[in-house]
Structure 1
Amino acid sequence: MAFPSSPHDADPSGGLLARETPGDNAAALSVSEISAQLKRTVEDRFGFVRVRGELSGVKRAASGHLYCALKDENARLDGVMWRGNAQRLSFLPEDGVEVIVTGKLTTYPGRSNYQIVIDRMEIAGEGALLALLAKLKARLEAEGMFDPRRKRPLPYLPRVIGVVTSPTGAVIRDILHRLRDRFPSRVVVWPVLVQGQGAAQQVAAAVRGFSALEPGGPVPRPDLVIVARGGGSIEDLWSFNEEEVVRAIAGSTIPVISAVGHETDTTLADFAADLRAPTPTAAAELAVPVHGELAALVADLDARRRRATVRL
């Protein structure tokens, strides 16, 4: 007796057991094998890309790695920046900042997704930089970092003046020259980078370092600190907008004059300092009186004292 043929016999694709089709040389791949092939294809095809997008979900892990996502109105791309590159960032990434990143695309087989491994991250133009500045200023202002009630009066005649600036630029020469003309004073220079990678960390460390000096120690503790650099673009002056620098100046136990850039330049360091000087030279003028005028004032007071004594 003949039994009816199974529908699976007529249609091998619907069979209960996987069968090799005659003449088919495409062997079944394991999940790991297909994932590895996808990874190689993506990395070969997108080994170097530049992507523009808005940062979202920015998180710095305890390991130092930076995790984030780039998004626009239609899509989202996960990203990671390993610790070595993250430490070299010249700004602090925040949600909502528009950036351009450079890196390579790769896949993560464990979750069946893809991401960009970021080598470099830059703010996407001056407009995005100004937006980041406004956002940071508003946040620090809400904390009371720029409250006028926190400002301290400057000492009338500081015995020691600390200067945080580059030791090789025209700024330190201008400050020393003006101090020498007005009132020769003892100056302690803390040399720092004033632009580029690592500048913000060095400036903040210098401001904190002056505050940490003990009175009567081998390095004299300043009565006043001047933080200074010459003029430049908003990118050149960006180190003085960094949160680390602003917090160091606001937390200084020594009064601080901020003298960053030219008269029209303004940085967040200016808002945090006890006094803003329009130029580094002007900072020296604000720091000390004119010796000749002070001597004349003392002589006048002495003459008045002698006249008052005669009248008695």
Structure 2
Amino acid sequence: MSEIDIESRTNAAEYTVSEISGALKRTVEDQFGHVRVRGEISGYRGPHSSGHAYFALKDDRARLDAVVWKGTFSRLKFRPEEGMEVIATGKLTTYPGKSNYQIVIDNLEPAGAGALMALLEERKRRLAAEGLFDPARKQLLPYMPRVIGVVTSPTGAVIRDILHRIRDRFPLHVVVWPVRVQGETAGAEVAAAVHGFNALPWDGPIPRPDVLIVARGGGSLEDLWGFNDEALARAVAASDIPVISAVGHETDWTLIDLAADVRAPTPTGAAEIAVPVKADLEATLGNLSARLRACMSRAIDRKRQAARAAMRALPQPDQLLAVPRRRFDEATGRLERGLSVGVERKRARFAAARLSPATLSRRIGEWRRLADRDLSRAQAALRASLALNRRHLGGVRARLTVLPLQRATLKARERVATAGQRQERAIAARLERLRAALTQADRLLSTLKLSEQAILERGYALVLDDSGALVRRAADVRHGMGLELRFADGSAHAVAGEGTPAPSTPSAPKPALPAPKLAPRQPAKPKDGGGQGSLF
């Protein structure tokens, strides 16, 4: 028989790949439905974008793939970290897509206190390398804060101890930010509280604290593990408000103790560090006030004694004024004697210089001699000056010649003649312009018939008195008054007669009288009807 026939006659059952994978999956899950595996986390890169976390557990000889689904990951008390030794609780299963097996983790916890301490030391070393624990970064606490912020549980004994201690030492305003101090969310809540206090404005409705106290009671390493959170340590180190860490008892140390500005052994100790004792301050102030008053009293006494000693060393006012007073008296005596001597001398000079006719004649004679002397000197000087000027003029005349004078005279005459001709032409041009302007104005006046002659041509007459002044009103005409009537073609003289009426109002018009015989033409009747008596 052929080899093919032998293989076709075997009794082995045939399975598909899916059947084999499913059988293996059921076998593994039935055999290892719930297991606890201890190992070191390897290949952890944080949760996937889907929320699931994929990594491996390994020891010195084997490797096991692990997965934490999204819902389980959010409930973990501890977050996985690379190199962390943990105990994973879950079930084994297979993944047919890659023909491997893995553990689906339901719970994850550190593998004992040694693992937690190793993780804590690793975090401490890394944060210290970044300088978060550097003493130069730490802030000084305010000596007398106005507001204190406390981050702790509102239901525990810690907050009561802090408030009681602050009330006993120095009562002031305390703002409590309630958080959970144990559990998987403790670190995140405390970090959020520190950030929240730093975000408060200075003038907001909630007062901004001057110092923060992060407090919790004692417990095991697992109970205090939330205060070893890296995010919390960074938030405390970056806080602008000074932070006092009061987590656990004296022997308990966490990362927040290293990152805080001050570490207190207990929450009560934190309250004592945050505020001074008011009674001690009052006693100190009283003591200082008493010392200040005593010092001022002693200083005033010393100044008073020094002033008295200086006053005793100074001389009396009479002693100080004795020498100036004596000098003043001596000067007064000398002044009196000097005035007397001066008056006598003036009187003697006045008596010696008494005026008399002989004295006046003698002085007048002296003045005349002096005047004659000065006059003779002036005449001599004048004659000498005239002689000098004559000599100078003679020299100038000798230097001058007749020809240049004649040339200058001719040039001057030519300039005068030219100027005269220009002046005559300018005057003639000016007269011509004025004559043309006058002719044009007369022509314009005649055209408009506004001239005096044009008015007379229309039948009007001018009445002038014997002085040649114009008579404008009938009231200005008196009996026997000589008048001149000027018409367009000549003038006529008249005398006002006895029938000259008084001026009347326009409301009683009278008919005009006939014109006089001497007038070459009849004047026009006035339009207003005003009458006038005979002028003859």
Task: Report the TM-score when normalising by structure 1.
Answer: 0.90
Q: Give the secondary structure class of the aligned counterpart of 1:200.
A: helix
Shift of 1:115: 0.6
CA RMSD across the alignment: 1.8
Shift of 1:124: 0.9
Identity over aligned pairs, percent: 65
Alpha-carbon distance between aligned partners in 1 of 2:50 and 2:192, rounded to the nearest angstrom = 23
Shift of 1:120: 0.4
Of residues 61, 69, 86, the one that matches 2:56 is 69
Alignment correspondent of 2:260: 273
Aligned letter for 2:285? V
Shift of 1:40: 2.0
Shift of 1:10: 4.7
Aligned letter for 1:36? G
Tell whether 2:3 aligns with 1:8. yes
Aligned letter for 2:230? E
Deviates more, 1:29-38 or 1:139-148: 29-38
Tell whether 2:169 aligns with 1:182. yes
Tell whether 2:245 aligns with 1:258. yes
Alignment correspondent of 1:164: 151
Alpha-carbon distance between aligned partners in 2 of 1:252 and 1:32, rounded to the nearest angstrom = 58
Tell whether 2:26 aligns with 1:31. no
Aligned letter for 2:151? V
Closer, same or farther in 2 for the Cα pair 1:149/1:35, shift >3 Å? same
Alignment correspondent of 1:226: 213
Alpha-carbon distance between aligned partners in 1 of 2:199 and 2:109, rounded to the nearest angstrom = 34
Tell whether 2:200 aligns with 1:213. yes
Deviates more, 1:270-279 or 1:212-221: 212-221
Gapped regions of structure 2 (runs ≥ 5): 301-536
Closer, same or farther in 2 for the Cα pair 1:44/1:139, shift >3 Å? same
Alignment correspondent of 1:111: 98
Closer, same or farther in 2 for the Cα pair 1:214/1:80, shift >3 Å? same
Alpha-carbon distance between aligned partners in 1 of 2:143 and 2:55, rounded to the nearest angstrom = 50
Of residues 38, 47, 56, the one that matches 2:33 is 47
Q: Give the secondary structure class of the aligned counterpart of 1:58.
A: coil
Question: Size of the alignment, in residue pairs?
Answer: 298
Alignment correspondent of 1:56: 42
Shift of 1:193: 0.9
Q: Give the secondary structure class of the aligned counterpart of 2:77.
A: coil
Shift of 1:29: 2.6
CA contact (8 A) 1:91 1:242 kept: no
Structure number having the greater helix percentage: 2
Aligned letter for 1:217? G
Alpha-carbon distance between aligned partners in 2 of 1:209 and 1:25, rounded to the nearest angstrom = 71
Alignment correspondent of 1:140: 127
Q: Give the secondary structure class of the aligned counterpart of 1:59.
A: coil
Alpha-carbon distance between aligned partners in 2 of 1:187 and 1:238, rounded to the nearest angstrom = 27
Aligned letter for 2:43? G
Highest RCO, 1 vs 2 (Cα 8 Å, sep ≥ 6): 1
Alignment correspondent of 1:296: 283
CA contact (8 A) 1:66 1:80 kept: yes
Closer, same or farther in 2 for the Cα pair 1:63/1:304, shift >3 Å? farther
Deviations, residues 183-205 of structure 1 (Å, cap 9, x unaligned): 00111111111112211111111
Shift of 1:9: 4.6
Q: Give the secondary structure class of the aligned counterpart of 2:132.
A: coil
Gapped regions of structure 1 (runs ≥ 5): 14-18
Aligned letter for 2:20? I
Alpha-carbon distance between aligned partners in 1 of 2:178 and 2:160, rounded to the nearest angstrom = 13
Alignment correspondent of 2:114: 127
Shift of 1:306: 3.9
Alignment of 1:279-290 (within 5 A): 279-290=266-277
Aligned letter for 2:149? G
CA contact (8 A) 2:78 2:108 kept: no
Deviates more, 1:194-203 or 1:256-265: 194-203
Alpha-carbon distance between aligned partners in 2 of 1:139 and 1:115, rounded to the nearest angstrom = 32
CA contact (8 A) 2:245 2:260 kept: yes
Shift of 1:30: 2.3
